[in-house]
Amino acid sequence: MVILVAIPSYVFLHHTRWGRYLFSVGSNAEAARLSGVNVPRTIFMAYILSGLLAAFVGVLLASRIGIGNPTQGDTYELQAIASSVIGGTSLFGAIGSVHGPLIGSFILSTINNGANLLNVNTFWQRVITGLLIIVIVYFDGLRRRGK
């Protein structure tokens, strides 16, 4: 399923005009608007694509556990943000790739698996994930200031 989503996402974001528009709106919406990008339409399409991918994940999760439980993925948003940030996506916009969050998710899964093997409480696993996000965003901010 990862390959089914990752390869078209890579092509879509890095080899199409709409992908360049999406990066430009994420970087500076006003500059993108002045360059001729329809910013509201681009944002609307990004939300549509996000909703479709969220629905896909919902179907996969429901098929995994056998029922539709609305609270099943409560902590997944933190893991998604952490995977993206660990993989090099900037929370400040316009920097990112498809393969970065994939690598970040493998790293985060390894950290979580190690914490489970060490019998670390799930509360502290979330704290560790949050601290990891804060540290990486801090260093990303320092890197951006240095440019």
What is the value of pTM for the model shown? 0.74
27, 46, 67 — which closes off a domain?
Answer: 67
Number of domains composing the chain: 2
The reply to whether 143 and 92 lie within a common domain is yes
Least confident of 42-46, 47-51, 125-129: 125-129
The reply to whether 80 and 122 lie within a common domain is yes
The reply to whether 59 and 80 lie within a common domain is no
pLDDT at 129 exceeding the cut of 80:
yes
What does the alpha-carbon distance between residue 108 and residue 83 come to, in Å, rounded to a whole number? 6
Please tell me the predicted confidence (pLDDT) of residue 94: 65
46, 67, 88 — which closes off a domain?
Answer: 67
Mean pLDDT of 62-77: 83
The reply to whether 91 and 146 lie within a common domain is yes
Instruction: Grade residue 122 by pLDDT with cuts at 50, 70 and 90.
Output: confident
The reply to whether 122 and 56 lie within a common domain is no
pLDDT: is 36 or 70 the higher one?
36
Please tell me the predicted confidence (pLDDT) of residue 141: 81
Please tell me the predicted confidence (pLDDT) of residue 31: 93
The reply to whether 122 and 84 lie within a common domain is yes
pLDDT at 147 exceeding the cut of 80:
no
Query: Percentage of residues in the chain with pLDDT exceeding 70?
Result: 98
Q: Select from 102, 140, 142, 110 the least CA-distant residue to 128.
A: 110
Range of the domain at 54: 1-67
